[in-house]
Amino acid sequence: MRDFRFLQPNGLGHALKVKAEEGDDGRILAGGTNLLSYIKTGRIKTGLLIDVTRLDELKVVREHDGSVDLGAGLTISELMAHPVVRDLLPCFTEALTLFGNPLIRNRATLGGNIADASPIADTAPILLVLDASVKLVSARGERTVALTDFFQGVGETVIASDEILTTVTVPVPDCSRVKMVKLGLRKGTACSVTSAAVRLMLDDGSLEECRIALGGVAPTPVRAGTVEKALGGKRFTLDAIEEHAPLVKKDINPISDVRGSADYRKEVSVNLLKRALKAAAGMEA
């Protein structure tokens, strides 16, 4: 790593000043679970590593106006253990149990998992159905971006070269109708082949609205708009799930790789979606 420099800023303001000066060469180092891998494989060859692990501004959990702000520097383990997250976002806490293994959860951060913009980012599907947004801060100011508008492609986001992702905001949901499921080639540290998250809003057996998101089936985590529209307003029954879940194939564009073919991912996505829909509705999965 002789081509890299290292800096541990004394506060967020210092980090933002340096990021503005360095631009894309300023690499944010939080958990490092992905960044260090990219350095080892040569994908990233040079730059300034800006270590934000000790910045208290990125470790805050705050409830306000029916939402919860989650600091981007919080590790997955810290989020799972935090009483506010456990009390107000139990469905998010449950989804985080699917994230890697305890060793990875102790290092990986929420902001890093999102900013890395991997199609298989484990936090993305559940946060998409929960209508999360992110705060991007620079020395110029700050802006809030809905997560649905955040991902641009594999490893690509709307983050400008001088910005740092500081906060993820999640509106407090009715978690009784939210579920995430994931398929990996094995348990533990397995990357997901595909994952699906569902949020249902039911009224006397009819589906007023549903939100569905999937990972690992397109260049970015995606919402399944075709299925959402098809199910909306329908009586929510097992027959409706069986009829409309296959429409998810219209919403995804998976690739073939070592973890599975595109056709395999399409079929798996249908089955995972059925499982998630049934589980969210309290039906037999």
Write the pLDDT tens digit of every residue in 209-257: 899 999 999 999 999 999 999 999 889 999 999 999 999 999 999 888 7
Confidence of residue 187 (pLDDT cuts 50, 70, 90): low
CA separation for the pair 115, 98 (Å, rounded): 19
pLDDT at 138 over 50: yes
What pLDDT, on the 0 to 100 scale, is given for residue 186? 46
pLDDT at 270 over 90: yes
What pLDDT, on the 0 to 100 scale, is given for residue 33? 86
| SS3 state at 195 | strand
Looking at per-residue pLDDT, the higher value among 138 and 202 belongs to: 138
Any idea what the Cα angle at residue 37 is, between residues 34 and 76, rounded to 5°?
30
Please state the pTM of the whole predicted model: 0.93
Distances in whole angstroms, Cα of residue 215 to Cα of each of 42, 173, 220:
26, 21, 7
- Domains of the chain in start order, with CATH, are 57-171 (3.30.465.10), 175-280 (3.30.390.50)
What mean pLDDT is predicted for residues 176-189?
A: 76
In sequence order, what are the residues at sequence separation of 6 or more whose Cβ sits closer than 8 angstroms to the Cβ of residue 244? 227, 230, 231, 234
What mean pLDDT is predicted for residues 184-194?
A: 59
pLDDT at 191 over 60: no
Average pLDDT of the chain, as a whole number: 93
